[in-house]
Structure 1
């Protein structure tokens, strides 16, 4: 019987990301004090975990993948459709990356950037969120903005893209965009409310590229 495929998330290690073999994962955590990693049965689960916090996923996978109870769904409520949603997709870590922002209700694409060579999903999520903030400010819109990435939310709060990805000739243009985004955060103010998209309750974020 064929061995079931697993995906390994490394939140803290020599390199972070999603790896498709235990050997690759082990290479990133070997000798690293306080390494944070976990295996998942599907890429979708791994992506959600990588975009979240280690503390939320270090328990059993089953407890995190169960269906929400009616009480939990009622507490979360429905998404605010007077909003825009942003998301990114990367073919690898690093890999070809792109991001977009859409109208949450109609899924009309409001902006789309890429593809960029040697990017990561986290960088894309960060750029998408900053682009969305700038877009709404330019339009003088009071809509909220949804993202499914807690990492991107944290980076925006810190006004810094805290990626460990190395800058190369191939991704130099991407890093220029990152620098511009950081500069915008440093020099600009915004009143837009950033909200975490509740994937478990609402399904994939409307800006999702559908490449699971």
Structure 2
């Protein structure tokens, strides 16, 4: 089953959720809750910034790729590292990992941390992969399915709107370290978009699908 992203405009919690279980918790028993699922993170983020009425009652689908488009995209570059994050809530329990794209063998993982977001996890995962590869003088590319995190890495800053709390102090320490690493280091590795529509699920995906 394809991964979905859930937007909650009005509920116990609002935001973009990466699992149906968390979305359900945010809207269950909330009068006139407003929520909807989307096939991509980008579509979900755009919808959350907009108005529920724009999407109410409409079937939201990601356009299928033509055979020509599939040929143009090609196949993932190997060897490479694929990274992904998971967050149970927004904010919620956040973790991330990096895997060998070909074998799906786990290379690194951040243990679950409280009061984070999916975008922060994706950002930290990319920087972790960059540092890991630089330490080993490896030039292979890194795949991520988060355009937002890729943009933050390019800009060398995590532009999260998440507020600091006692629970997420460690996460903000990691953000500071990651931003410092980006400012002080260069790298030859390309950071590429994982083409889910062409290749299927990101190999680093945590497998938390909607029910």
TM-score grouping bracket, smaller chain normalisation: 0.7 to 0.9
1:188-199 → structure 2 map (5 Å cutoff) = 188-199=185-196
Shift in Å at residue 74 of structure 1? 0.9
Aligned equivalents of 1:17 and 1:74: distance in 2? 32
1:1-212 → structure 2 map (5 Å cutoff) = 7-8=6-7, 17-18=16-17, 21=27, 40-41=36-37, 45=39, 47=41, 49-50=43-44, 64-212=61-209
Shift in Å at residue 9 of structure 1? 6.3
Distance change in 2, residues 1:173/1:70 (3 Å): same
Whether the 8 Å contact between 1:40 and 1:46 is mirrored in structure 2 is no
Deviations 1:133-189 (A, max 9, x none): 001101100111100000001000111000000000000011101110011011111
Whether the 8 Å contact between 1:9 and 1:50 is mirrored in structure 2 is no
Shift in Å at residue 24 of structure 1? 9.3
Distance change in 2, residues 1:111/1:77 (3 Å): same
- CA-atom RMSD in angstroms: 2.9
Task: Tell me the TM-score normalized by structure 1.
Answer: 0.77
Whether the 8 Å contact between 2:104 and 2:204 is mirrored in structure 1 is yes
Residues paired across the two proteins, number? 186
What SS does the aligned partner of 1:195 have?
strand
Please, which runs of 5 or more residues in structure 2 have no aligned partner?
Answer: 18-22
Please, which runs of 5 or more residues in structure 1 have no aligned partner?
Answer: 1-5, 27-38
What SS does the aligned partner of 2:89 have?
coil
What SS does the aligned partner of 1:65 have?
coil
Aligned equivalents of 2:167 and 2:145: distance in 1? 27
Aligned equivalents of 1:135 and 1:164: distance in 2? 27
| Runs of 4+ with >6 A deviation | 22-26, 58-61
